[in-house]
């Protein structure tokens, strides 16, 4: 397993950009203790993937027509068209081969849709064959009241470039702060077959309770009825069983990667 190809490799292109951090099952401390102890579904969703950050502290201001931006070192607010990360273009050209120089990705770009900004995380990523990277808002963490990141699936096994996110500003007339120390996005590895037409078009369904099989009713009895008939019902049975399953099995991706 030591020689297995990693599912995702992150490349830091802006030297000061925070590296990805394993997502927190506690939802950055926002989940109730009861959810952490007894609701494995919620905690597992919160901890699935990595947290990504903005590469610097900056502010955006949307007046309803024009987006403005500001960061340390700028004397005044600047209208946003496309803005480079400070001093990055020279750093990029100094490291890049000749045929790539002059193509440093912008840090911030105002898109044609009103109030929408594209922000670069300062990172690029490469995924293993057959895997994509889902960039999305933080899972099970309260949303910021002034902006909403879009979700995007990047097939980074064959497309290599900067990891951007599009952010829809939802507040006008007041500055909106983005902090390098605060996670902004969650990156989650997804096998491409999971969102293929074959899988999504092949979902089955039953029309009523009459469609449940004997095995379905047996599992329902085991998972729902039996725990509630216990003299001292203790919550968290599902969470305990899920933790036991995770401890007992390895990563199926690693096995496939080694075989490949």
Query: Is the domain of 114 the same as that of 78?
Result: yes
CATH of the domain at 126: 2.70.40.10
Query: Is the domain of 186 the same as that of 217?
Result: no
| pLDDT tens digits, one per residue of 30-82 | 888 888 777 888 999 999 999 999 999 999 999 999 999 999 999 999 999 99
Which pLDDT value is given to residue 260? 38
Element (H, E) at 153: strand 152-154
Query: Is the domain of 162 the same as that of 53?
Result: yes
Query: Is the domain of 231 the same as that of 188?
Result: no
Query: Is the domain of 30 the same as that of 134?
Result: yes
| pLDDT tens digits, one per residue of 140-174 | 999 999 999 999 999 999 999 999 999 999 999 99
Query: Is the domain of 186 the same as that of 224?
Result: no
Q: How many domains are contained in the chain?
A: 2
| pLDDT tens digits, one per residue of 19-42 | 999 999 988 888 888 887 778 889
In a domain, 119, yes or no: yes
- The yes-or-no verdict on residue 254 having pLDDT over 50 is no
Query: Is the domain of 105 the same as that of 179?
Result: yes
Query: Is the domain of 162 the same as that of 245?
Result: no
Q: Which of 150, 168, 196 is the last residue of a domain?
A: 196
Query: Is the domain of 175 the same as that of 226?
Result: no
Short-list 80, 74, 76, 152, CA closest to 116 = 80
- The yes-or-no verdict on residue 251 having pLDDT over 70 is no
In a domain, 258, yes or no: no
Mean pLDDT in the chain? 90
Query: Is the domain of 185 the same as that of 145?
Result: yes
Q: What are phi and psi of 93, to 5 degrees?
A: -65, -30
Which pLDDT value is given to residue 5? 78
In a domain, 1, yes or no: no
What radius of gyration do the chain's Cα atoms show? 23
| pLDDT tens digits, one per residue of 168-225 | 999 999 999 999 999 999 999 999 999 999 999 998 999 999 999 999 999 999 888 8
Query: Is the domain of 159 the same as that of 32?
Result: yes
- State the Cα–Cα distance between residues 200 and 248, nearest whole angstrom: 29
- State the Cα–Cα distance between residues 45 and 191, nearest whole angstrom: 16
Query: Is the domain of 96 the same as that of 12?
Result: yes
In a domain, 16, yes or no: yes
- The yes-or-no verdict on residue 89 having pLDDT over 80 is yes
In a domain, 136, yes or no: yes
Which pLDDT value is given to residue 71? 96
- State the Cα–Cα distance between residues 56 and 15, nearest whole angstrom: 11
Range of the domain at 233: 213-253
């Amino acid at each position: 397993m030591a020689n297995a190809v990693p599912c995702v490799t992150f490349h830091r292109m802006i030297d000061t950009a925070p590296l990805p951090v394993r997502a927190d099952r506690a939802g950055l401390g926002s989940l109730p203790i009861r959810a952490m102890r007894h609701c494995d579904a919620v905690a597992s969703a919160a901890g699935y993937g990595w947290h990504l950050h903005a590469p610097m502290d900056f502010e955006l201001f949307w007046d309803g027509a024009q987006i403005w931006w500001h960061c340390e070192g700028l004397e005044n607010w600047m209208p946003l068209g496309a803005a480079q990360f400070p001093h990055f273009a020279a750093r990029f050209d100094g490291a890049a081969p000749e045929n790539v120089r002059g193509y440093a990705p912008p840090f911030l770009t105002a898109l044609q849709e009103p109030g929408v900004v594209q922000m670069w995380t300062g990172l690029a990523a490469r995924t293993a064959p057959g895997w994509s990277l889902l960039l999305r808002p933080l899972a099970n963490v309260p949303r910021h009241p002034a902006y909403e990141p879009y979700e995007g699936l990047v097939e980074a096994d064959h497309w290599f470039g900067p990891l951007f996110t599009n952010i829809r500003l939802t507040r006008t007339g007041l500055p909106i702060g983005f902090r390098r120390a605060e996670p902004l996005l969650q990156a989650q590895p997804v096998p491409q077959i999971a969102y293929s037409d074959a899988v999504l078009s092949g979902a089955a369904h039953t029309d009523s309770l009459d469609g449940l099989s004997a095995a379905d009713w047996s599992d329902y009895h085991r998972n729902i009825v039996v725990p509630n008939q216990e003299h001292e019902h203790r919550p968290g049975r599902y969470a305990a069983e899920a933790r036991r399953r995770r401890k007992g099995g390895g990563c199926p991706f690693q096995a496939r990667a080694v075989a490949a």
